[in-house]
Structure 1
Amino acid sequence: MVDFEAPQGLIHVHVDVDAEDCYIDAAPGYSPSIMGQVLRHVRSIGLEPIDDGYGEPELLPDGSVRIYLTETSERPSVAGLATLATTPILSRVAVTA
């Protein structure tokens, strides 16, 4: 499991492929341009937002929105996850085995 945060901590990415628990949390006031960059990076490692027909974003008690992610045709690799940490837009905040 790996967690990443965008600047200002308003966008959080959680990736736990083994548990099929991958999502993006966006707090009120997040930057749409930063979200666009986060989505591009997430797609580059083999994850994408779940299609509208299978899962709607969830409103969390703190006002954040949770967007669930699913694997694309290829399972995200450890190397792919490592590339997220090297992007200028995300920083790794937690890694759990």
Structure 2
Amino acid sequence: MHKNIYSDIRRATCMRLSEIVPSILPQGRRMGREWVALNPTRSDRSLGSFRINLTSGAWADFATGDNGGDLVSLASYLYGMSQYEAALYVSRIAGVANDR
């Protein structure tokens, strides 16, 4: 994958984070600029510790210390994908052409 595709994906997803994040983490709610959700990678029963910033895409699970800086790293974490596979997945969600 061409290096610039990561920049394209980040730019395209940042404009649509408030739409995309709830679609991949439906068990959550908006709290200010963040999406607070249940972490599907562990037995998470209450909202609070797993948060995604809807402006930057940065995310963290404050219960485990896991974190990342964008939607690609979030997809990689949630679905156990490589960064490359996650970038392809996110590019499809965001409608970013990945023919480079």
Q: Same fold, TM exceeding 0.5?
A: no
Whichever of the two has the greater Rg, that structure is 2
TM-score with structure 1 setting the length: 0.30
